[in-house]
C-alpha cells in the first residue's frame, strides 16, 4: 500500500531560525514528490516538485531535497518568518496515476514564534 509519513508532527521555532521537515514514502513506482503549504483554513499551495532525477530544488527560502534510493525527502526553511506558520504536506505521485490520486502525508504543523 502506498504511504507517506511525515515528521515531526508539529514543530515550534523562533522567528529567524531554520528548520527541516522530513517525508518518507513507499509509493511505487515513483513519479514525483511535491511539498505543499497549507495555511489554516485555506487550501494547500504547491511549493516545489521533484522527480527521481532531482536531488535539490529551491523556491525562495524553501529548499527541498530528494533521495529516491532511500525514498526520503526533506523541506528546509531558512530564516523563518511568522508567515511560515502553516501545515506542510508531502504529496507523492505514482507513475500512471493522475495528479489527483496522489498519496498525501499527514503534514507537519509549523509554528513560528516572535
Partner 1 sequence: EPEVTQTPSHQVTQMGQEVILRCVPISNHLYFYWYRQILGQKVEFLVSFYNNEISEKSEIFDDQFSVERPDGSNFTLKIRSTKLEDSAMYFCASSRTGGSYNSPLHFGNGTRLTVT
By the criterion CB under 8 A, which residues form the site for partner 1? 31-32, 34, 41-46, 49, 51, 89, 93, 97-102, 104-107
Of 31 and 63, the one with the shorter C-beta distance to partner 1 is 31
Pick from 112, 61, 62, 110: nearest CA to 86: 110
Cβ at position 13, least distance to partner 1 in Å: 21
Whichever of 65 and 107 has its CB closer to partner 1, that residue is 107
Cell numbers of 66, please? Answer: 530528494
Nearer to partner 1, 92 or 112 (CB): 92
| Closest CB 16 distance from partner 1, rounded Å | 29
Q: How far is the CB of 76 from partner 1 (least distance, A)?
A: 20
d(CA 17, CA 75): 14
Nearest to 33 by CA among 25, 41, 42: 25
Parallel/antiparallel/unpaired status of strands 103-104 and 72-77:
unpaired
Amino acid at each position: 500500500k502506498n504511504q507517506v509519513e511525515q515528521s515531526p508532527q508539529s514543530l515550534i521555532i523562533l522567528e529567524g531560525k531554520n528548520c527541516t521537515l522530513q517525508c518518507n514514502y513507499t509509493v511505487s513506482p515513483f513519479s514525483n514528490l511535491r511539498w505543499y503549504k497549507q495555511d489554516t483554513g485555506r487550501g494547500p499551495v504547491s511549493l516545489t516538485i521533484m522527480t527521481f532525477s532531482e536531488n535539490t530544488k529551491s523556491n525562495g527560502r524553501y529548499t527541498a531535497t530528494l533521495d529516491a534510493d532511500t525514498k526520503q525527502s526533506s523541506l528546509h526553511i531558512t530564516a523563518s518568518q511568522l508567515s511560515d506558520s502553516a501545515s506542510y504536506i508531502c504529496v507523492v505521485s505514482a507513475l500512471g496515476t493522475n495528479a489527483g490520486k496522489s498519496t498525501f502525508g499527514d503534514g507537519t504543523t509549523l509554528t513560528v514564534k516572535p
